[in-house]
Amino acid sequence: MISRVKGTQDLLDLTLFNFAIDQTRKHLESYNFIEIATPILEPTELFKRSLGLQTDVVSKQMYTLGEKDEICLRPEATASTARAFVENHIQQTPWKVFSWGSMFRHERPQKGRLREFHQINIEAIGAPSIAQDALFIKMLDSLFVQRFKLESYALHINFLGTPDDRKKHKEALLTFLTKHEAKICKTCLERKETNTLRIFDCKNPECQELYKSAPQITDYLSQESSKEWQKLQEQLDILSVTYVVAPSLVRGLDYYNKTVFEFVSHDLGAQSAFCGGGRYDHLIKAIGGKDDEPSIGTAIGLERLLLLLEPIKNQLSLPQMQALSVIIPLETEQNSLALLIVDELHQNNICCDVLLDDSSLKSKMRKTNKMGAQWAIIIGPEEQQQKKAVLKNMVNGKEETIPQTELVKKIK
């Protein structure tokens, strides 16, 4: 047997998956977002330039191809959306768009962590006001509460300020880390040199204890940044969004500044974030746009959202399956007639299937039952001759013989 690639999965029942996408689509469209799609293959350079060379995604997790690794399977969709904005010369801002699809990261697979996973990616490009962030976060919060009936999650937010604010914070952090070098783990020592802010993601309890007293970015904000940070919290309060300020939330990608946030749920175990995002004011210029286009965006991890929805799916208004009719020709001589009946039922928008194998009636009835059919339509030589059919209600077991011309009316 040839097995699927590690960290990928076969999705054999898409009911909940499609429901999640449909509901999100409806919700976002009501906020005036439009759906787009970008390629799965992108130039590797796009992610190097946007996410940053030192990030885990670019330095360890990329699936690349081409002679010089110049093409890759996209690991996320923000850089792609930004590229599409620049390449297609979009003039009207904010450009409010969403897309969904597979992303690829070479990570160690575990619950909620795959190598091919799906995201719903949402971006508002050219949206400088911090009030936009409050609206964006409220939009997500109401998606999770109203459409998906989620209860046990928390929203973590932090404010990373401007590049200047971060520079000051980084200096203070480096001084702190140098002072405590003897107490920090090997990974943190490496990160100190390469991607300092990421020390806050360390899982080591001793490091975490130490970092409680480390300099926090929000203490190094300029007056203007501080005002924006206050304003954001005020507006979230006005909109009745419950949040937790998480000083160590830095997010793993380099393009963020100012607002960052994550929706987390303990029900997910170690991989607790099912939605994460933030503001990126300098990305558009960094990948070749003429000017900066201050923007905000997020991605929902579909697999993790589905882990949360699965246990409460009975409370969700999942689409009902259409009632199924199964046509059962008793012998192969009735197959042509069965095909004609199928055709007529389909033309009248009736969901139906036909059992064309030459097994016994008993086995065909058993199959019809397993298929969850509402109606069985049985035609043998006698019915064929008399232009009739036996219509059996599979729910209450009642059956009657009726003219074939009355089948549509009866089933409808």
Q: What residue ranges bind ligand HAM (CB under 6 A)?
A: 76, 78, 105, 107, 112-114, 117, 119, 121, 123, 252, 273-278, 297-299, 301, 303-304
Minimum separation from the CB atom of position 299 to ligand HAM (A): 4
Q: Between 61 and 226, whose beta carbon lies closer to ligand HAM?
A: 61
- 3-state SS track over 80-141: HHHHHHHHCCCCCCCEEEEEEEEEECCCCCECCECCEEEEEEEEEECCCCHHHHHHHHHHHH
Q: Between 112 and 126, whose beta carbon lies closer to ligand HAM?
A: 112
Minimum separation from the CB atom of position 401 to ligand HAM (A): 55
Q: Between 191 and 304, whose beta carbon lies closer to ligand HAM?
A: 304
Q: List, in sequence order, the alpha helices (H) in 241-377.
A: 283-286, 302-309, 335-347, 361-370
Quick one: which of 232, 249, 261, 34 has its CA closest to 129?
Answer: 232
What residue number has its CB nearest to ligand HAM?
Answer: 301
Q: Which residue has the tokens 């009501």?
A: 30
Minimum separation from the CB atom of position 222 to ligand HAM (A): 23
Q: Which residue has the tokens 């043998």?
A: 380
Q: Between 80 and 325, whose beta carbon lies closer to ligand HAM?
A: 80
Minimum separation from the CB atom of position 310 to ligand HAM (A): 15
Quick one: which of 355, 380, 385 has its CA closest to 370?
Answer: 355
Minimum separation from the CB atom of position 295 to ligand HAM (A): 8
The DSSP annotation for 45-68 comes to HHHHHHH-TTSHHHHH--EEESTT
Report the alpha-carbon distance of residue 276 to residue 262 in Å, rounded.
Answer: 4
Minimum separation from the CB atom of position 274 to ligand HAM (A): 5
Q: Between 304 and 388, whose beta carbon lies closer to ligand HAM?
A: 304
Q: Between 150 and 352, whose beta carbon lies closer to ligand HAM?
A: 150
> Would you say 20 and 100 are in contact if contact means Cβ atoms under 8 Å apart?
no
